[in-house]
Amino acid sequence: MTFHAPHIDYAGLSPVIALTAGICAVLVGGVFSARRQRLVVSVLSLTTVAVAAGLCIWQWGEREDLVAGALRLDELGLAGALIAILAAAVVIPLSWREPAAERPGSEPRHGEFQALLLSSVLGMVLLAQAQNLVVLFVSLELLSVPLYVLCGSAVRRTQSLESGLKYLIVGSLGSATLLYGLAFIYGGSGSTDFTTIRDAVGSGLTDDPLVLIGIALAATGLAFKISIAPFHQWTPDVYEGAPTPVTAFMAVATKAAAFCVFVRFFEVALGPAVDNWQPALAVLAAVSIVVGNIGALGQSSLKRLLGYSGVAQAGYMLVGIVCASALGVNALVFYLAAYTLMNLAAFAVIVVRERESGYGDGIKAFEGLGRDRPDLAWPLTIAMLALAGLPATAGFMGKLYLIEAAVDADYTWLGVAIAIGTMISLAYYLRVVAAVWMRPAAEPLAPEGAGMPAMAGGSPEADPLPSLAAATAAPRPGTRCLAILVPAWLMAGATIFFGVLPSPLVDWASHAGGALTPFLA
């Protein structure tokens, strides 16, 4: 038996290598810097993120298989990677004053927090480029495991632990379903490589029951990850309970990476069986649009509202996959980028208000924001209007492209579903805008000063509460923090910019879609 080392193109792998090295550096930096941990760790992780983004841009336009066909270097994968990296870059400043990382009264945990965040990004970069079933599964786990921990990382809040546990159980169920489906597809087609599966399925396996059930189970597993109804029940609870920066990251980055692999897996590997999965996914998309938009109507917590709105938006984006055309993939990538911009802007404002108002993320916390804090009110308003799809925002252009692609692929009724969903969604997005501009500010609640909640699941003997002096002496979570306001304004500005001048983003997205053109009709 001889060993043939695979050819490794280090240039193509460089974003992955940079992220891996960065994770290790952040972990070590967190250990050896007690005093200025936040500064040291943040410099390290922001540098990592910047370097990885730079390497992705440097590799833009290359198309080749990496390391024995495990990964596919193309614009689609790099687009997913860039979106995940952008989300991490915005979320790192958001996490600076986060109690789960700052831990007033005890030693901070920025090193672990940011290392977990970066390793999730690493999983996303691998996932977006995966073109092998084994890589797909392992990178999906590498993406999910840090998120399970991050959701539960605020160990002094019961909701956070509940959110972590819920996400762990539901996420594992989704992973198990996906794995089951992948096993069936491997059993039917005899290969784990996307292109070989495509050849096998194309040569007479399109109606093979083994492959069909594999497709169904794999679609279910992926639908769990991107919270497509009816596999969405975990979404609002997990979004509400998790620390808000984690929610922001989870909402945008997971969707981007999972959609990239979804589209690659279905259009490339299962492309010949398109007639079998297309109607099923179309139904899922329609159900998701309806359930998400109706579920969001009655929510008073903004994080829950965005959770349900995420379900609906995932439904819109699934339309891009259903189309099975280059136009659909372009629209999907465009919408993913737009969705990232608008959601990050909204969540940045939620992070600030949650810390300063005392109403948490309830809609009361945002009443009268327009008069008191216009610097916060504008990004939130822009984000809400863009999510609702008003003209002159990137959300509008994204929906327009999706509807155009749906009509082009003879799925006009899905285009109509998007339009109807958008109309319903106006009701709850505008409710937030109305609360911001038209209501008087709610009486500020006194923050629950000295008392620090007991650690959920802990025992009083093992976990003594930090002394009152420590809790009060600890810095109050800051609010007028430029590190949050600047990204919020940048994201909101970009949302408007790409709504008025969409062509740069359209070109970018069509490069990403072009990577799949050989496999599309």
Partner 1 sequence: MVQVAFFVGAIGATGGALAVIALRNPFYSVLALVVHLVSLAGLFLLLYAQFVAAAQVVVYAGAVMVLYVFVAAYVGAVEEPIWEPIPGQRFLAPLLAVALLVELTIAILGTGLTALDSEGPTVHAGFGTPAEIGNLLLERFLVVFEAASMLLLIAAVGAVVLAGRRTTPPTSSASRPGSAGSGSEVAAGPHAPTATSSLAPADPPSAAEQGG
Binding site for partner 1 (CB under 8 A): 1, 3-6, 8, 20, 23, 27, 31-35, 66-71, 105-107, 109, 112-113, 115-116, 119, 122-123, 126, 132, 134-135, 138-139, 141-142, 145-146, 148-149, 152-153, 155, 164, 184, 187-188, 208-210, 212-213, 216, 455, 458-459, 461-464, 466-467, 469-470
Cβ proximity of 311 and 291 under 8 Å:
yes
Choose between 184 and 489: whose C-beta lies nearer to partner 1. 184
Q: Which residue has the tokens 């029940």?
A: 233
The alpha helices in 108-254, defined as continuous H runs, are 110-129, 133-151, 158-189, 194-202, 209-225, 234-241, 244-249
Query: Considering the complex, what minimum distance in angstroms separates the CB of residue 418 from partner 1?
Result: 30
Choose between 3 and 446: whose C-beta lies nearer to partner 1. 3
Q: Three-state DSSP class for 71?
A: strand
- CA distances to 438, 454, 491 from 345, rounded to whole Å, are 21, 32, 5
Query: Considering the complex, what minimum distance in angstroms separates the CB of residue 269 from partner 1?
Result: 17
Cβ proximity of 138 and 64 under 8 Å:
no
Cβ proximity of 211 and 253 under 8 Å:
no
Choose between 36 and 480: whose C-beta lies nearer to partner 1. 36
Query: Considering the complex, what minimum distance in angstroms separates the CB of residue 90 from partner 1?
Result: 21
Choose between 32 and 410: whose C-beta lies nearer to partner 1. 32
Cβ proximity of 84 and 256 under 8 Å:
yes
Cβ proximity of 260 and 76 under 8 Å:
yes
Q: What is the rounded CA–CA span in Å between residue 105 and residue 470?
A: 5
Q: What is the rounded CA–CA span in Å between residue 111 and residue 113?
A: 5
Cβ proximity of 433 and 388 under 8 Å:
no
In terms of C-beta density within 10 A (0-12 exposed, 13-18 middle, 19 or more buried), how is residue 120 classed?
buried
Query: Considering the complex, what minimum distance in angstroms separates the CB of residue 203 from partner 1?
Result: 15
Query: Considering the complex, what minimum distance in angstroms separates the CB of residue 161 from partner 1?
Result: 9
Query: Considering the complex, what minimum distance in angstroms separates the CB of residue 293 from partner 1?
Result: 25
Choose between 152 and 315: whose C-beta lies nearer to partner 1. 152
Beta bridge partners of 73: 64
Contacts of 372 (CB under 8 A, 6+ apart): 441
Choose between 189 and 381: whose C-beta lies nearer to partner 1. 189
Contacts of 239 (CB under 8 A, 6+ apart): 163, 247, 250, 251, 303, 304, 306, 307, 310
What number of other Cβ atoms are within 10 A of residue 448's Cβ?
Answer: 9
Choose between 233 and 479: whose C-beta lies nearer to partner 1. 233
Q: What is the rounded CA–CA span in Å between residue 380 and residue 383?
A: 5
Query: Considering the complex, what minimum distance in angstroms separates the CB of residue 122 from partner 1?
Result: 7
Query: Considering the complex, what minimum distance in angstroms separates the CB of residue 153 from partner 1?
Result: 6
Choose between 168 and 341: whose C-beta lies nearer to partner 1. 168
Alpha-carbon dihedral 62, 66, 69, 70, rounded to 10 degrees: -120
Q: What is the rounded CA–CA span in Å between residue 212 and residue 216?
A: 6
Token reading at 41: 């760790």
Choose between 145 and 382: whose C-beta lies nearer to partner 1. 145
Spacing of C-alpha 302 from chain mean position: 17
Cβ proximity of 179 and 205 under 8 Å:
no
DSSP letter assigned to residue 3: -
* Residue type at 241 in one-letter notation: G
Query: Considering the complex, what minimum distance in angstroms separates the CB of residue 38 from partner 1?
Result: 14
Query: Considering the complex, what minimum distance in angstroms separates the CB of residue 196 from partner 1?
Result: 12
Q: Which residue has the tokens 């863009």?
A: 386
Region class of 358: left (phi > 0), else alpha (psi between -120 and 50), else beta: left
The alpha helices in 298-325, defined as continuous H runs, are 302-322
Spacing of C-alpha 297 from chain mean position: 22
Choose between 467 and 517: whose C-beta lies nearer to partner 1. 467
Choose between 230 and 298: whose C-beta lies nearer to partner 1. 230
Cβ proximity of 423 and 371 under 8 Å:
no
Alpha-carbon dihedral 350, 384, 242, 153, rounded to 10 degrees: -60
Choose between 459 and 503: whose C-beta lies nearer to partner 1. 459
Choose between 390 and 471: whose C-beta lies nearer to partner 1. 471
Choose between 141 and 375: whose C-beta lies nearer to partner 1. 141
